[in-house]
Amino acid sequence: MERFRLVRIDSRLIHGQVITKWLKRVDANKIIIIDNQLANDDFMKSIYVMAAPSDVKVEVYTIEDAIAQYNEDQFGSDKILVLMKDVQTTYDVIKNGLAFPKVQIGGLGAGPDKKKAYGPIYFSNQDFKQLKELHDEGVDIVLHQVPDETALEFSKVIPKFS
C-alpha cells in the first residue's frame, strides 16, 4: 500500500490545495478519484481530468469499479493520491475490500445537522459514526487541511461527538 501516497476525503476533490500542496508533498503521479456520481458524468469527469497537471494521470471510478481495478492490478505501478468527496464513499470503499491503513480528512463543509470537528471540517452524526467504526477497526484517521497546518488525530475529536 505504500504506492498509496495519500488517501484523502475532500468534498472539492481536485482543487488548488490538492494540486499545489498535497500532490507535490506526497510525490504522486496519479490521482484516483472514487465517486459514483462523477464516474458516470463524462462532462464533469473531463473537467477534473483537465484540472490536474499534464504530467499527472487522473482516473475516476465508481466504488465497485475501483475495488475491481484494485483487485486486478492495484491501479498499476504509479504513486497514487486517492480522493473521495465524502465519508460514506470512503466507508463503503474500505468495508468492501480496499483496506487503506490511513485516511486524511481535508475538507468537509458545514451543513444542516453537521457539527464542527476541526477547522473547516464538519461531520454529521452518520459521518462520525462511520469514521469511529473505521478508527476502532484500526484505520489511522487524521484531520489535516493543508500541509503547513497541524494535523489532528481523529481520536482527539471523539469527545466532541460522544
What's the DSSP call for residue 19? I
Show Cβ contacts of residue 132 under 8 Å, excluding neighbours closer than 6 positions: 154, 158, 161
Length of the chain: 162
* Extents of the domains making up the chain: 4-161
Phi-psi region of 149 (alpha: psi -120 to 50; beta: other; left: phi over 0): beta
Q: Tell me if 45 sits within 8 A of 14, measured CB to CB.
A: no
Q: Quick one: fold of 4-161? A: Fructose Permease (3.40.35)
Query: Each residue's pLDDT tens digit in the chain (162 positions)?
Result: 578 999 999 999 988 777 778 988 999 999 999 999 999 999 999 999 998 999 999 999 999 999 999 999 989 899 999 999 999 999 999 999 998 999 999 989 999 999 999 989 999 999 999 999 999 999 999 999 988 889 999 999 999 998
